[in-house]
């Protein structure tokens, strides 16, 4: 069964996303797999992190005995104080996002459509949602990368022809990195660019609702 084949670890997905971050770029990481991305930046490159909690150039998470309630990221996790940090208020935090100053945001998703619509704020079956800053990031960041598992907990495809969940942003996603594949939404449809080792394009298609356009230079997941 394709569904039971081994998939990539979350860390490997994060490692693949890390390759997409521009040297010297300003990057906002969402919660979940996106948070892990900062662990895999190549030694020779520098990435500046932006958090809508109101801090730029923030560092790694704090050790347990050094947690400070006045130094948190957007997920409420405690940060280490590092040289070069800058604090700002919420209006400025979102001006940085909406004004096109944040180069890349990496977000998780419930669903992404073939044309790059993003749904990541509400599960209708639960009835409640927290929008937070996701909608502003989707509309404002220069590039939106989604990092997620290819299917949900019931093994239903999360990459769909059209989102059935309420969307966060329309046509905003430029790259999807999952535990099975790297895909690019385009106006013509969803292009399959890379597959996880041991997986074929046909097997990835079986777990994807949207019809895949196989890239002529389809590769194995490149780390």
Active site residues: 52
Q: 3-state class of 80 per DSSP?
A: coil
Residue 112: strand pairing partners = 118, 159
| 56 close to 85: Cβ distance less than 8 angstroms | yes
Q: Which of residues 110-169 bind other proteins (CB under 8 A)?
A: 117, 127-136, 139-140, 166-169
Residue 49: strand pairing partners = 27
Residue of the chain from 6, 11, 68, 162 that contacts other proteins (CB under 8 A): 68
Cβ nearer to other proteins, comparing 19 with 98: 98
- Greatest Cα pair distance in the chain: 52
Residue of the chain from 43, 44, 64, 188 that contacts other proteins (CB under 8 A): 64
CA–CA dist 17, 142 (Å, integer): 16
67 interacts with other proteins by CB under 8 A: yes
Cβ nearer to other proteins, comparing 130 with 154: 130
Cβ nearer to other proteins, comparing 42 with 95: 95
Cβ nearer to other proteins, comparing 96 with 192: 96
CA–CA dist 37, 19 (Å, integer): 9
Q: Which of residues 179-208 bind other proteins (CB under 8 A)?
A: none
Beta strands in 30-125 (DSSP E): 48-51, 55-56, 86-87, 104-107, 111-113, 118-119
Q: Which of residues 80-109 bind other proteins (CB under 8 A)?
A: 87-91, 93-94, 97-98
Residue closest to 133 by CA, chosen among 171, 77, 95: 95
Q: Note the residues at the interface with other proteins (CB under 8 A).
A: 51-55, 64-65, 67-72, 74-78, 87-91, 93-94, 97-98, 117, 127-136, 139-140, 166-171
């Amino acid at each position: 069964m394709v569904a039971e084949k081994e998939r990539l670890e979350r860390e490997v997905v994060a490692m693949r996303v890390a390759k997409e971050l521009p040297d010297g770029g300003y990057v906002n990481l969402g919660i979940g797999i996106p948070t892990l991305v900062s662990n895999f930046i190549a030694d020779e490159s520098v990435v500046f992190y932006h958090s809508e909690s109101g801090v730029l150039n923030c560092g790694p998470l704090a050790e347990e005995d050094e947690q400070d309630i006045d130094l948190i990221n957007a997920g409420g996790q405690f940060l280490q104080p590092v040289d070069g940090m800058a604090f700002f208020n919420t209006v400025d935090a979102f001006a940085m996002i909406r004004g096109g100053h944040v180069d890349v945001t990496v977000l998780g998703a419930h669903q992404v459509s073939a044309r790059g619509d993003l749904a990541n704020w509400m599960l209708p079956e639960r009835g409640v949602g927290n929008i937070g800053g996701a909608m502003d990031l989707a509309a404002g960041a220069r590039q939106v990368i989604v990092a997620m598992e290819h299917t949900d907990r019931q093994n239903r495809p999360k990459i769909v022809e059209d989102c059935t969940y309420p969307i966060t942003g329309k046509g905003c996603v430029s790259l999807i990195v999952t535990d099975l594949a790297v895909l690019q939404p385009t106006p013509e449809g969803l292009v399959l660019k890379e597959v996880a080792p041991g997986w074929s394009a046909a097997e990835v298609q079986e777990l994807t609702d949207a019809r895949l356009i196989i890239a002529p230079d389809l590769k194995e997941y490149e780390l």
